[in-house]
Amino acid sequence: MNNKLALLVLAGAFFVSGPNAHAQAAASSSAGASSQTATDQDIQLLRKDIRSQKKQLIAANLKLTDAESEKFWPVYDQYTADLVKINDQKYTLVKEYADNWGTMTDDQALSYIKRWLAVDEQVSALRSKYVPIVNKALPGKKTATFFQLERRVQMMIDIQLASQLPLVQAQGQ
């Protein structure tokens, strides 16, 4: 698990380097529209790769029978599709933050954090929604193990992302 986990963390670091690079570009006002498009495309590819690695990590650590696999993986794919929609909002927030960093007003800062918390609440609600759905496919211990793995991976990605975003108060210093 450690090797796959390290790869996932590395992929997460690549995921967040895009928004950080975008923040630097926005701060210097030298980013052109074509470079922004390339950055967005690169980020989308990296996000897809992270999802693939996450699925591999879960498959390697969640020991399923053939019958459980047949029931679980379609549920997992739907859960991931629902999670991607929420994470799209997070990515939009990161881009907006990067675009406004350096000139962010108090009202923008408050709006940003409120919307970030709303995204966090949506992720929590999605997990709660899927616990009984996953539990129809898997016994309790395996359901809990899946959500432990999923949450660990998401926390690692979130910590990487958070560590790359400059603090609001640091603008103008």
Cβ count within 10 A of residue 123: 18
40 Cβ neighbours under 8 A, 6+ residues apart: none
**Strands (DSSP E) found in the chain:** none
Whether 31 shows a pLDDT value over 60: the answer reads no
Coarse DSSP helix, strand, coil percentages of the chain, rounded to the nearest 5 percent: 85, 0, 15
The two structure tokens encoding residue 43? 């980020």
pLDDT of the residue at 164: 77
Q: According to the model, what pLDDT value does residue 26 have?
A: 38
- 97 against 31, higher pLDDT: 97
In DSSP notation, 6-52 reads HHHHHHHHHHHHHHHHHHHHHHHT---HHHHHHHHHHHHHHHHHHHH
Half-sphere CA count of 63, side-chain side, radius 13 A = 2
**Distance (Å) of CA 100 to CA 27, 49, 106:** 8, 28, 12
Residue 58 banded pLDDT, cuts 50, 70, 90: very high
Higher pLDDT, 11 or 53: 53
Q: Which two tokens stand for residue 82?
A: 């629902």
**Distance of alpha carbon 72 from alpha carbon 83, whole angstroms:** 16
Tokens representing 84 are: 């991607």
32 or 154: which carries more pLDDT confidence?
A: 154
pLDDT at position 110 is 93
